[in-house]
Structure 1
Amino acid sequence: MTNGETVRAAIEGLRKAIASLDGALDARLERERDRAEIDGEVRRVNADRSRLAQELDQSEFRANRLEEVNREVSRRLVTAMETIRAVLDR
């Protein structure tokens, strides 16, 4: 091999190494973008989960309150019916 061929071979090897490094860098940047997107999605899912948990707690509170009111209305209806029966029985 002549000096010129050796230099050309070295330059070609360097070009291949740079191209390989460039490809590896592109792949790494793509993985980083994907990870950032996944991290963002995880944050959104966690925020949704928190919001839904809070809404569920509020709904359970309202349901419990409605049950209490329902029991009170039923109690009052029973009292009213007993009063009406007592009046009618006189």
Structure 2
Amino acid sequence: MTGETTLREVIVRLGKAMEAIEQAAAASLEREQDYSEAEAEVQRLNADRSRLAQELDLSEARGERLEEANKEVSRRLVTAMETIRAVLDR
């Protein structure tokens, strides 16, 4: 019966080996899915970064325009005050 015992042992070892292969394949698929999810998150973050950089550029340009408008208004107010003083002094 040693032949049967050996055959059973081989079948058991084969079953264990197949289970190990299945577990390794499942772990590999899980790692691949995790990698795909991480890659998608990186792409979303890059898109957000690009959008935020564009919004920052627009905000900076708007800030510069407002600063120039503020300077122009200030110059006009000074001119108006000087004109009013000159008229009052006459």
Q: Name the TM-score, length of structure 2 as normaliser.
A: 0.97
Give 1:3 shift: 1.1
* Percent identical: 64
1:47 is matched with which residue? Answer: 47
2:4 is matched with which residue? Answer: 4
Q: Secondary structure at the match of 1:29?
A: helix
Which amino acid in the other structure matches residue 4 of structure 1? E
In the TM superposition, structure 1's runs of 4+ consecutive aligned residues that sit over 2 Å from their partners are: none
Inter-partner Cα distance in structure 2 for 1:65 and 1:5 = 90
Query: Which consecutive unaligned segments of at least 5 residues does structure 1 have?
Result: none
Per-residue CA deviations over 1:16-49 (Å, capped at 9, x if unaligned) read: 0000000000000000000000000000000000
Q: May I ask how many residue pairs the two structures share in their alignment?
A: 90
Q: Name the TM-score, length of structure 1 as normaliser.
A: 0.97
Inter-partner Cα distance in structure 2 for 1:76 and 1:8 = 101
Inter-partner Cα distance in structure 1 for 2:74 and 2:40 = 50
Inter-partner Cα distance in structure 2 for 1:13 and 1:85 = 105
Correspondence list, 1:1-90, <5 A: 2-90=2-90
Which amino acid in the other structure matches residue 29 of structure 1? L
